[in-house]
Amino acid sequence: MTVFKLKRVQYMPKELEPGLLYVSEQYEVAGHLCACGCGNKVVTPLGPTEWSFEDTNRGPTLAPSIGSWQLPCKSHYWITRGEVRWAGQWTPDQIERGRRAEEERRREFYEAREEGTPNPLARMWRLSHPLVNPCTIHEFARRDVRGRRTAA
Ligand SMILES: [Zn+2]
């Protein structure tokens, strides 16, 4: 069984080790190598409309599921208390529904904020996060890492 252990970091390292879920709470981002073993980096932003992360005594939990539909492996799984549970591959229909659900979550979040509903989570939100799509995020994260290095 594939198992992930939590590794807290400030910045996402360029090279990730398999079996570790890297979490930077400061930059609200988590990263790991795809659970299928293909070696692709999966970077997921953390936030009210993104993934949520929980540190349990048995291991880290990331929710919702990780759907790397743009990777060749098209992996889809949950990481729950450190354990990987496979969800089966995405069908084109599921991909479409997944994308719509993400858009919907975002729309509801922003509408709630515009209505002036006090939402403590809104503070956590960073505009720098692009749409949830592991590949886009992957590109974004690489730029992000490079940007910070230059600035340092
Ligand atoms: Zn994979």
Ligand 1 centroid–CA 150 distance in Å is 30
Domains of the chain: total: 1
Ligand 1 centroid–CA 37 distance in Å is 6
Looking at residue 115, its pLDDT comes to 64
Give the count of alpha carbons within 13 A of 71, CB side only: 25
Quickly tell me which residue has 């743009």 as its tokens.
70
State how far the alpha carbon of 101 is from the alpha carbons of 9, 13, 17, 64, 91, in Å: 30, 30, 31, 11, 15
Ligand 1 centroid–CA 152 distance in Å is 32
- What domain range includes position 114? 5-151
pTM: predicted TM-score of the whole model, two decimal places: 0.64
Ligand 1 centroid–CA 151 distance in Å is 32
Residues with Cβ–ion distance below 5 A, ligand 1? 34, 36, 38, 73, 75
Looking at residue 4, its pLDDT comes to 97
Compute the distance between CA of residue 50 and CA of residue 3 in angstroms, rounded to an integer.
Answer: 22
* Long-range contacts, 83-87 (Cβ 8 Å, 24+): 83/1, 83/2, 83/3, 83/4, 83/58, 83/59, 84/1, 84/2, 84/3, 84/4, 84/35
- Answer yes or no: are the C-beta atoms of 6 and 39 closer than 8 Å: no
Looking at residue 116, its pLDDT comes to 57
**Structure tokens of 109?**
């979040």
Give the per-residue SS3 of 27-52: CCEEEEECCCCCCCEEEEEECCCCEE
**pLDDT tens digits, the chain, 152 residues: what are they?**
689 999 999 999 999 999 999 999 999 999 999 999 999 999 999 998 899 999 999 999 999 999 887 789 988 899 999 999 998 777 888 778 877 887 887 888 777 776 654 444 444 443 334 344 444 344 444 333 333 333 33
